[in-house]
Each structure stands twice: as C-alpha cells, then as structure tokens.
Amino acid sequence: MSKRPLLSCCVVALTLAVPELAWAQANCPPGSWFCAEAPQAPAAPPQQVQIQVQPGYAPAPTPPVVVYQPPPPVVVYQQAPQRYYAVPPPPPTQVYYYRPRRHRSEWGLNLHFEGATFGSRPGITSDGIWGGGLGLRYRPVPVFALETDLDFVGGTDYNGFRRSETASTINGLFFLNPQSRAQVYLLAGFGWSWAHLPDTGQDYDYFGGQGGIGMEFRASKHVALNFDARGFIRTRIDDAANYGPAEFTNAQGQSTNTSAGVLFTGGMTFYF
C-alpha cells in the first residue's frame, strides 16, 4: 500500500476525533472512566464596588408601609316574626255608670208622692195628709239644682177636720257627691200653701220654710229616683189670723197659728 493514502486516512480520523473529544468532555457524566478531568481555573476574588455619593443627593425615602384593614362586617339582626293568638273578647257588661258632664246644665221634670204629719189633739185620731205633686228642676251645675214644686194633698188635720191643701214651694238642692250614681243631697227652701176645711167652711193661708235631706239614684242618664224627708214650719198669713181664734190649741190651753210637721216624698225625675 502506498503511504499517501494512509496519511490521508490518519488526518481525517484525527479531524473527526477532536470534536468528539470536546463533546465528551463537556457531557461526561460523573464517574465515567473515559472522561478526562479538565483543569479548572481558580475562581476570581470578589471585587468591591465603591459607591460615591455626590453632595446634595439624598436617597429616595422608603415608601410608607400601608396596612389595609377591611371594615368590620355588617351584621343584620332579623327579628323573628311575632305570633298572635286570637283571644275571644270578654262578654259585654251591661252596667251604666253615670258621669255627668262638667258645666252641662240639665232640666228635669219631677213627679212624686208625699205624706205629712201634723200630730193631733188629745182624743182626736188623725190619718195625716197624703197627696202628690210635680216639680220643675233646673240643674246648672252638677252640685246644685233649683226646683219649684206644686203639691195637692188632703186628709184629716190636727183638730180632726177634713182638709185639702195646695202648696207651692221653691227649694235649692245641694248634691254632696254629684259624680256618684247614688247622690245624697240637702235641700232648703220656702213656700206658700192654701187650705180649705169643708167641715167648717174655713180657709187658711200659710207661709213658711223647710229643710231636709234626700237621695237621688240615677237609674240612667235621663231617669232618676229620689226620696227625701223635709221638716217644715209655717204660720198663718190670712186676714182672720189677726182677730179670729187661733187654729191650734194644746191640752194646756195654749193656742197658736204656727204649725210644724214632717213631709216625706218619693218620686221620679226625668232629665232632658
């Protein structure tokens, strides 16, 4: 064989082996026997960098630390629905309580029965005087009323004679507890009366005063029941009283034209 072709083959083989050796050196896994350790250059020492601060230059301030705190959560309390239980109403009470209005005036028509006693002479039996009447009442305020009455009575008198009388009186009534249903009142007044005795044909005229106590029960706003006792005293005022015999003479022979007694009344008043 010629030497020239052999030399050419060696050059080509060497040319191909150098890159492969470099590749194997770079990618050689640790512990491989065919990888040659390449010499390592010593590490360069760290270099110190000096920062020169120019006069008049200030570093930028550090930005403040902002901590964001979220607002407290909004808590909404929802009230539980109320439960209502149907309760039957109490039965109505049919009770009337009288409460007169303040400063309210009232008019009233009074109808009543009455009986009076005068006493009697010794040995004389008297059945008393009985009758009835009516009255017109004006009550401007709850505590006071003004009443005028017209009465008609008849019976046996002190001397045992039959008698009929007509009386007209004016009385003031003072109510002690006007806010109550049962009202106690005091009364006082005066009046005139005219008597006729059919047995003797005599006529008598009287003037006198009276006072007493009573009770009015308001059954409703417009109806009231009343009861009272009135003591009275009166004297004759007719012309015969000055020159004729006295009307009353007692057992001792004493005579007088003044008489007294007790009158009991009971009736009903209609207010409007």
Give the start-to-end residue ranges of the domains of the chain: 106-271
Residue listed under structure tokens 């009288």: 98
Q: What is the pLDDT averaged over residues 28-35?
A: 51
Q: Higher confidence at residue 112 or residue 45?
A: 112
Q: Half-sphere exposure (CA, 13 Å, Cβ side) for 256?
A: 11
DSSP-derived secondary structure for 101-134: PTT--EEEEEEEEEEEE----TT----EEEEEEE
Radius of gyration from C-alpha coordinates of the chain? 68
Please report which confidence band the pLDDT of residue 9 belongs to, taking 50, 70 and 90 as the band edges.
Answer: low
pLDDT at 60: 67
Please report which confidence band the pLDDT of residue 74 belongs to, taking 50, 70 and 90 as the band edges.
Answer: confident
Class of domain 106-271: mainly beta
Instruction: Select from 130, 119, 106 the least CA-distant residue to 247.
Output: 119
pLDDT at 62: 76
Q: Half-sphere exposure (CA, 13 Å, Cβ side) for 268?
A: 6
In sequence order, which ranges of the chain are alpha helices (DSSP H)?
3-26
Please report which confidence band the pLDDT of residue 73 belongs to, taking 50, 70 and 90 as the band edges.
Answer: confident
Q: What is the pLDDT averaged over residues 120-125?
A: 71
Listed in sequence order, the residues at least 6 apart from 240 whose beta carbon sits closer than 8 Å to its beta carbon are 202
Q: Higher confidence at residue 152 or residue 76?
A: 152
pTM comes to: 0.61
Q: Higher confidence at residue 243 or residue 166?
A: 166
